[in-house]
């Protein structure tokens, strides 16, 4: 009979809050953003528990059921991730290589170009149509002056003026 008391307390509002909460959590799982959908989903589920539960014991049981459902959704999401069945916006499908994604030290050192801005010591230089943020090795370099790349360390490209 206690089971009948538990389910007898469920109203249409409770069912709507539960459904809205689950749907919002699923939306957050497949279209992540700032967490608004997930937060609203958790609030809807908590409101459902608060409205439906008559006693603390019922509230705790309902909270455990909701937590188990969320855990099931997370497991399903993890399985989808491992099998590559996530929506395209969530997964980078193409890998970049060193050649297409960034400039390697070997291919850039020794290139000459023109300072597009004054280098004090940082600025922009053009190397045959390729504009790069650079740092001068010896201080100030005037705009329009010819420069040569002498060092590359990560994203830091060091140039020196060509005399």
Most confident of 16-30, 39-53, 134-148: 134-148
Picking from 7-11, 39-43, 57-61, which range would have the lowest pLDDT averaged per residue?
Answer: 7-11
Q: How far apart are CA 77 and CA 75, in angstroms?
A: 5
- Which one has a higher pLDDT value, 7 or 77? 77
C-alpha dihedral, 134 to 137 to 138 to 144, nearest 10° = -30
What kind of architecture, by CATH, is found in domain 103-161? Beta Barrel (2.40)
Reference 90, options 41, 39, 23, 27; nearest CA is: 27
- Which one has a higher pLDDT value, 122 or 74? 122
Residue 134: pLDDT band (50, 70, 90) is very high
With 0-12 / 13-18 / 19 or more C-beta atoms within 10 angstroms meaning exposed / middle / buried, residue 108 is middle
Query: How do the domains of the chain map onto residue ranges?
Result: 2-90, 103-161
pTM listed for this prediction: 0.45
Reference 90, options 30, 38, 25, 34; nearest CA is: 30
Among residues of the chain, what percentage have pLDDT more than 90? 25
Reference 110, options 132, 127, 133; nearest CA is: 127
| pLDDT at res. 103 | 65
| pLDDT at res. 82 | 74
> pLDDT digits over 62-113, tens only?
888 888 888 887 788 778 777 766 655 555 555 554 444 456 667 889 999 9
| pLDDT at res. 146 | 95
- In this structure, the number of other CB atoms found within 10 A of the CB of residue 116 comes to 15
Question: What is the rounded average pLDDT for all residues in the chain?
Answer: 80
């Amino acid at each position: 009979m206690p089971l009948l008391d538990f389910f007898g307390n469920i109203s249409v509002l409770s069912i709507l809050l539960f459904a809205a909460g689950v749907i919002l959590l699923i939306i957050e799982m497949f279209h992540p953003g700032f967490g608004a959908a997930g937060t609203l989903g958790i609030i809807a589920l908590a409101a459902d528990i608060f409205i439906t539960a008559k006693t603390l014991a019922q509230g705790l049981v309902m909270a455990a059921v909701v937590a188990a459902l969320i855990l099931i959704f997370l497991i399903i999401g993890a399985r989808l991730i491992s099998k590559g069945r996530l929506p395209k916006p969530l997964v980078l499908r193409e890998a970049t290589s060193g050649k297409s994604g960034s400039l390697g030290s070997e291919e850039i050192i020794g290139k000459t170009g023109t300072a597009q801005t004054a280098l004090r010591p940082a600025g922009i230089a053009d190397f045959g149509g390729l504009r790069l943020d650079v740092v001068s090795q010896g201080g100030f370099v005037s705009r329009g002056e010819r420069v040569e790349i002498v060092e590359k360390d990560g994203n830091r490209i060091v140039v020196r003026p060509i005399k």
